[in-house]
């Protein structure tokens, strides 16, 4: 296994004891930890250059604006968008999807048209589309998931029709770890005349994403899952589409001219960025992306793949444990249930040993229903996790089984 363990030193939060034990942080799919350089960037912003952007004619405003605009270019490069103005800052994946559901929905979705989602979506990629369908009298269709956690691609082909307006699909499932065949889905959807939104919340932190190669119409993700701060996320949209879409919110910065009779709107990306943005966290996200690039996203991918394979092998040795999501092509997430043990009790006992995993429905209640469970335990890895931590997880689970059954 490629060793990236020395990078652990960059993450101060990892070096503490929880409940008397060294912290084992295996909840990275919920949010990743932040390296010191990101924390420093936030402090530096407030200590040295705090100012509003795009408006001031003074030193601090210039410095803040330069740092803010640089991040847009960093994100553009990171996902290989064609233009910086295709990158819209939002507060996270959830807001990015809501923006598209509202704005694309206003411009392009008419009654009886269909929005196609899948059974493995996070609530953030379900509810905004239900709301849109209610507003527009459109129809929501759901592509099922197979027993091993892969998408039922044949159903996808069957459900797609000239009536499909948009396909909204996750790149990687936050519960199953499944990597969906996004390139194929986009090609087929385009051939049917539909646009595609890709929820990249769980893909961008784990492997290289190239939005032009994918030909995605929209691609969204959150900064906090890729070692950046909370409160900042990205909407990538193809320029020609964003140009045709109405603003999502009105206010400062998104206007060209305001009169009481009529307002004209600013050019991209500002049309979609009403009000004072989250300047500090945007700058922090830029530093997080630099950090990832210094390590190399391909090295991160290799390390996490090795950890996930190893943890799968180890967990599978435990007889009463069943992993949900068994596709070979998966990323960094292992969901499991143990017969006779409630996932919540397991989570509490692991926490007592300093081990942080996620338990519950993972904001994917329909998927839980699909697998006939109320919730699961979920361990999710980042490159800074170690084999030793996986051993501790397995020991913790075995201890819990001994205590609880
Ligand atoms: N989609 C997926 C696949 C996710 O994993 C998450 C976060 N768990 C979200 C959307 C929502 O992200 P956020 O809460 O950062 O907006």
Rounded mean pLDDT, 304-309: 96
Give the per-residue SS3 of the chain.
Answer: CCCCHHHHHHCHHHCCEECCEECEECECCCCCCCCHHHHHHHHHHHHHHCCCCCCCCCHHHHHHHHHHHHHHHHHHHHHCCCCHHHEEEECCHHHHHHHHHHHHHHHHCCCCCEEEEECCCCHHHCHHHHHHHHHHCCEEEEECECCCCCECHHHHHHHCCCCEEEEEEECECCCCCEECCHHHHHHHHHHCCCEEEEECCCCCCCCCCCHHHHCCCEEEEEHHHHCCCCCCEEEEECHHHHHHCCCCCCCCCCEEEECCCCEEECCCCHHHCCCCCCHHHHHHHHHHHHHHHHHCHHHHHHHHHHHHHHHHHHHHCCCCEEEECCCCCECCEEEEEECCECHHHHHHHHHHCCEECEEECCCCHHHHHHCCCCCEEEEECCCCCCHHHHHHHHHHHHHHHHHHC
Ligand 1 residue neighbourhood (C-beta within 6 Å): 92-94, 122, 124-125, 170, 174, 199, 201-202, 222, 363
- pTM across the whole model: 0.98
Q: Are residues 201 and 335 in the same domain?
A: no
Boundary residue ending a domain (260, 293, 326): 293
Rounded mean pLDDT, 1-10: 79
Boundary residue ending a domain (263, 293, 323): 293
Q: Are residues 320 and 207 in the same domain?
A: no
Which atom of ligand 1 is the closest one to the Cα of 173?
A: 3
Check pLDDT > 90 for residue 3: no
Boundary residue ending a domain (278, 293, 308): 293
Categorize the per-residue pLDDT at 2 as very low, low, confident or very high, splitting at 50, 70 and 90.
low
Rounded mean pLDDT, 188-192: 98
Domains held by the chain: number:
2
What's the 122 CA to ligand 1 centre distance in angstroms?
7
What's the 341 CA to ligand 1 centre distance in angstroms?
27
Categorize the per-residue pLDDT at 405 as very low, low, confident or very high, splitting at 50, 70 and 90.
confident
What's the 221 CA to ligand 1 centre distance in angstroms?
8
Q: Are residues 203 and 320 in the same domain?
A: no
Q: Are residues 216 and 116 in the same domain?
A: yes
pLDDT at 57 (0 to 100): 83
pLDDT at 127 (0 to 100): 98
Categorize the per-residue pLDDT at 295 as very low, low, confident or very high, splitting at 50, 70 and 90.
very high
Rounded mean pLDDT, 252-272: 96
Residues marked as catalytic: 363
What's the 188 CA to ligand 1 centre distance in angstroms?
25
Which atom of ligand 1 is the closest one to the Cα of 94?
A: 16
Q: Residue with the nearest Cα to atom 6 of ligand 1?
A: 201
Q: Residue with the nearest Cα to atom 4 of ligand 1?
A: 201
Query: CATH number of the domain that 288 lies in?
Result: 3.40.640.10
Structural domain range at position 182: 39-293
Question: What pLDDT digit, counting tens, does each position of 321-373 carry?
Answer: 999 999 988 999 999 999 999 999 999 999 999 999 999 999 999 999 999 99
């Amino acid at each position: 296994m490629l060793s990236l363990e020395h990078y652990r030193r960059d993450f101060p939060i990892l070096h503490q004891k929880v409940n008397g034990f060294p912290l084992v942080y295996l909840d990275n799919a919920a949010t990743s930890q932040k390296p010191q350089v990101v924390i420093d960037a936030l402090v530096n912003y407030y200590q040295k250059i705090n100012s509003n952007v795009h408006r001031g004619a003074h030193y601090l405003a210039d410095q803040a604006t330069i740092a803010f605009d640089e991040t847009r270019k960093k994100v553009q490069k990171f996902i290989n968008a064609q233009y910086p103005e295709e990158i819209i800052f939002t507060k996270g994946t959830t807001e990015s999807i809501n923006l598209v559901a509202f704005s694309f929905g206003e411009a392009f979705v008419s009654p009886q048209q269909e929005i196609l989602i899948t059974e493995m979506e996070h609530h953030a990629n379900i509810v905004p589309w239900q709301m849109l369908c209610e507003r527009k009298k459109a129809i929501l269709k759901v592509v099922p998931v197979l027993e091993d956690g892969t998408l039922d691609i044949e159903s996808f082909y069957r459900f797609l029709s000239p009536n499909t307006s948009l396909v909204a699909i996750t790149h990687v499932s936050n519960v199953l770890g499944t990597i969906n065949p996004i390139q194929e889905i986009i090609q087929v959807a385009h051939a049917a005349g539909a646009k595609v939104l890709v929820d990249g919340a769980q893909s961008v932190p784990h492997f290289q994403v190239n939005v032009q190669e994918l030909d995605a119409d929209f691609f969204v993700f959150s900064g906090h899952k890729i070692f950046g701060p909370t409160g900042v996320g990205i909407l990538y949209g193809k320029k020609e589409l964003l140009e045709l879409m109405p603003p999502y919110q009105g206010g400062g910065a998104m206007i060209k001219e305001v009169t009481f009779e009529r307002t004209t709107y600013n050019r991209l990306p500002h049309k979609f960025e009403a009000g004072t943005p989250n300047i500090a966290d945007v700058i922090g996200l830029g530093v997080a992306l630099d950090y990832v690039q210094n390590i190399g996203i391909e090295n991160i991918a290799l390390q996490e793949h090795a950890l996930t394979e190893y943890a799968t092998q180890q967990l599978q040795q435990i007889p009463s444990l069943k992993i949900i999501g068994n596709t070979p092509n998966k990323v960094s997430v292992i969901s499991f249930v143990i017969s006779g043990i409630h996932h919540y009790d397991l989570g509490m006992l692991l926490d007592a040993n300093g081990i942080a995993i996620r338990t519950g429905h993972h904001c994917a209640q329909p998927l839980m229903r699909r697998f006939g469970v109320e919730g699961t335990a979920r361990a999710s890895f980042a490159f800074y996790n170690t084999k030793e931590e996986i051993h501790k997880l397995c020991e913790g689970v075995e201890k819990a089984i001994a205590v609880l059954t």
